Amino acid sequence: MSYVIAAPEWVAAAASDLASIGSTLSAANAAAAFPTTGVLAAGADEVSVLIASMFGGHAQAYQALSTQASAFHAQFVELMTGGANAYAAAEAGNVEQTLLNAINTPTQVLLGRPLIGNGADGATPGAAGGAGGLLYGNGGNGAAGVSAGVAGGAGGAAGLIGNGGAGGVGGVGAAGGAGGNGGWLYGTGGAGGTGGVGATVMTGPGGAGGMGGAGGAGGLFGNGGVGGQGGQGGINPADLVLGGPGGAGGAGGTALFGNGGTGGIGGLGGAGLGGGGLSGAGGAGGSVQLIGHGGAGGAGGSAIGGGGGGGAGGTGGSVGLIGDGGAGGAGGTGSFSNGGGGGNGGVGGLLYGNGGGGGTGGSIVTNSTNIGGAGGAGGAARLFGNGGAGGAGGNGNAGGGNGGAGGVAGQFGNGGAGGNAGSAAGGRGPGGIGGAGGFANLFGNGGAGGAGGTSGFDPIAFTGVKGGAGGAGGTAGWIGAGGAGGAGGAGGSGTAFINSPGGPGGTGGDGGAARLLGNGGDGGNGGPGGAPGTGSIGGTGGVAGNGGARGQLLGGSGATGLPGAPG
């Protein structure tokens, strides 16, 4: 056993003494330099000159050696000083750790967790992260599932102050772990783990991807954690079958005073030899119980691998007292299946807050017989606030998606605008219908209707398709104006073929009515007719929308829209 010890203060004192000695020696060497190196000869004879030269040479050699010794001395002092500092830092760390051990030991024994410090990360596949200190510390991260069917470990919870740990990634086909909750007083919830990739199989469709883990809840003050992404679907590399479906995204974490977590993105469908699998839906945004904004819904997964449908967007998070609802997630892009629908917006706070906007519908990326996804509806407001706008519909070869309806206003506020419809221009189907505007309640205007989508060509009837209709304007509150109707979409073109007429324009949406005091909304214009093919005629212009009725006590009726121009 070694009995060698090191006292940092002694080492530092010795280094200081050595530095002082070095300074004294340097001063003495400098003082001796001139009288020893410049010795004069005692006489003019050769012997005297030789003796003086010999003494001068010895003095110069001594000065050179002194210079080297001074440099070595300085390096030695520097090393001793650095060693003393290192010993002091190590002792300070030991004191801190000793103090923490003394504080944490009782709570660790009684409650199984420390008073101060971070929780340990999960050590084995699928193991949960350890809880953070009761007073201060973050939760540990959950371990990955690794093996098939083993879910990712949950993130550890924080104590009074700290952030929750992240959930672990799921094993093959298994769900990701949930994020840990934030500290009771303050802290953000941990992110949910990503779902595991679906299994690769040799018979039948590929395995399904695992669901993303939910985000952890925030503390009294803190945001909810982000939901985990869904796992990608598996494949079958041997047979002409579809890839596996993608996993759904995890829900965002909730909050009390703070913002809800964003929902996880839906997992991609697997790429199969017979086409891609259906992609997963996005996770819902986290809700807020008192004050804050709702989390946005996660986007739906998009199609890959030459096929597959887009996943639906997640619903936006709602708010309890004050704050705006979260936006709905966008629908995923489709290929040989429809685009995903946009998620609905979240509801605004009871006292004040706007509804969240609806998510955009997913479009189609291939020349397939499928339609774009519908836009999500806007979220409603409750007392003071406007309804959320409806999401736009996605474009599709066989038809555009319909626009989402505008959200209902609070008692004091305006209705949300309807979403514009998706287009089928260049395709073989009708444009979508514009979303209706949201209505108002007590004081406020109705929302405007969304525009109809442009249509394509009907290869069976050999004519352009009628344009999509505009959405109706929303009804006003007891005091307020009705919303304007949306314009009709353009008729499909017949120019690609000889003797094929253009399609008629879409009908404009009717204006919203006033109720007691206010003007009715103007009707939407009719859509233009489609251009004709060679030797044929263009489509007729769309019919205009009617103006909304005037208020019963005071106000004017809305104007009728303009008819669409012929093609």
Mean pLDDT across the chain: 87
Greatest CA separation for the chain: 137
d(CA 278, CA 304): 9
- Say if CB 419 and CB 435 are below 8 A apart: yes
DSSP string, 350-402: SSB-PPPPPPPPP-B-SS-S--PPPPPPPPPP-SB-PPPPPPPPPP-SS-PPP
pLDDT mean over 340-344: 97
**Number of independent structural domains in the chain:** 2
Give the pLDDT confidence of 198-214 residue by residue, as tens digits: 998 887 788 999 999 99
The least confident of 318-332, 384-398, 489-503, 542-556 is 489-503
Task: Name the amino acid, one letter, at 548.
Answer: G
Distance of alpha carbon 70 from alpha carbon 251, whole angstroms: 70
Interatomic CA distance for residues 456 and 474, integer angstroms: 29
**One-letter identity of residue 554:** L
**Does residue 52 form part of some domain?**
yes
529 in a structural domain: yes
Domain termination residue (choose one: 43, 61, 96): 96
- Which range is most confident: 23-37, 67-81, 173-187? 173-187
537-541: average pLDDT: 95
Any domain includes 471: yes
Task: Give the tokens for residue 329.
Answer: 């997630």
Instruction: Using the predicted structure, report yes or no on whether residue 47 has a pLDDT greater than 70.
Output: no
Please check whether residue 487 lies inside any domain of the structure: yes
pLDDT at 63: 59
pLDDT grade, residue 5 (50/70/90)?
Answer: very low
Residue 96 pLDDT: 59
Query: Taking each helix axis from N to C terminus, what angle separates 46-111 and 8-37, rounded to the nearest 10 degrees?
Result: 170
423, 425, 426, 427: CA torsion to nearest 10: 50
Distance CA 232, CA 213 (A): 14
pLDDT for 307: 63
Which SS3 state, helix, strand or coil, does residue 443 take? Answer: strand
- The verdict on residue 173 lying in a domain is no
Residue 369 CB neighbour total at 10 angstroms: 14
Domain limits for position 505: 399-567
**Confidence at 366, pLDDT banded by 50, 70, 90:** confident
Per-residue confidence (pLDDT) for residue 336, from 0 to 100:
76
Query: Using alpha carbons only, how large is the chain's radius of gyration in Å?
Result: 38
Report the C-alpha gap between 435 and 418 in whole angstroms: 4
Tokens describing residue 232: 């990608």
Cα 268 from Cα 287, distance rounded (Å)? 26
Q: What 8-state DSSP symbol labels residue 75?
A: H
Please list, in sequence order, all residues whose beta carbon lies within 8 angstroms of the beta carbon of residue 173, skipping any fewer than 6 positions away: 148, 149, 196, 197, 198, 199, 207, 208, 209, 210, 231, 234
Q: What is the pTM of this model?
A: 0.81
Tokens representing 7 are 């006292």
Q: Token match 């952890």: residue?
A: 216
The label of the residue with tokens 């000869």 reads 41
Residue type, 189: G
3-state DSSP: the chain helix, strand, coil percent, rounded to 5? 15, 5, 75
Residue 525 in this model has a pLDDT that exceeds 70: yes
Confidence of residue 1 (pLDDT cuts 50, 70, 90): very low
Q: Is residue 66 part of a domain?
A: yes
Average pLDDT rounded to a whole number, residues 330-359: 94
Look up the CATH number of the domain holding residue 74.
1.10.287.850
Structure tokens at 446: 């109705």
Q: What is the pLDDT of residue 80?
A: 54
> What average pLDDT score do residues 359-387 get?
92
The identity of residue 236, as a single letter, is N
**Which tops the pLDDT comparison, 88 or 132?**
132
What's the pLDDT score for residue 448? Answer: 99
Choice between 11 and 544, residue whose per-residue pLDDT is larger: 544
Give the type of residue at 410. G
The average pLDDT across 253-274 equals 91
Contact yes or no for 470/488 (Cβ under 8 A): yes
Q: Classify residue 466: in a domain, yes or no.
A: yes
Mean pLDDT over 375-383 rounds to 98
Once rounded to an integer, what is the mean pLDDT over residues 230-256?
A: 89
Q: How does DSSP assign 231-285, residue by residue?
A: PPP---SSSS-PPPPPPPPPPPPPEEESPPPPPPPPPPPPEETTEEPPPPPPPPP
- Which residue has better confidence, 34 or 487? 487
**pLDDT reported for residue 109:** 73
Position 357 pLDDT exceeds 50: yes
**How far is the CA of 2 from the CAs of 5, 30, 225, 233, 545, in angstroms?**
9, 44, 52, 61, 98
Give the domain-ending residue among 96, 127, 151.
Answer: 96
pLDDT at 70: 66
The Cα 447–Cα 548 span in angstroms is: 13
544 in a domain, yes or no?
Answer: yes
DSSP 118-137: PPPPP-STTPPPPPPPSSB-
Angle made by CA atoms 72, 78, 79, in degrees to the nearest 5: 90
Q: What is the mean pLDDT of residues 345-373?
A: 92
| More confidently predicted of 40 and 441 | 441
- Domain final position from 79, 96, 113: 96
Element (H, E) at 98: helix 46-111
pLDDT of residue 206: 82
Give the Cβ contact number of residue 553 at 10 Å: 12
Q: Pull the structure tokens for residue 297.
A: 């819904």
Residues 6+ apart with CB under 8 A from 465: 424, 429, 430, 431, 455, 456, 457, 458, 491, 492, 503, 530
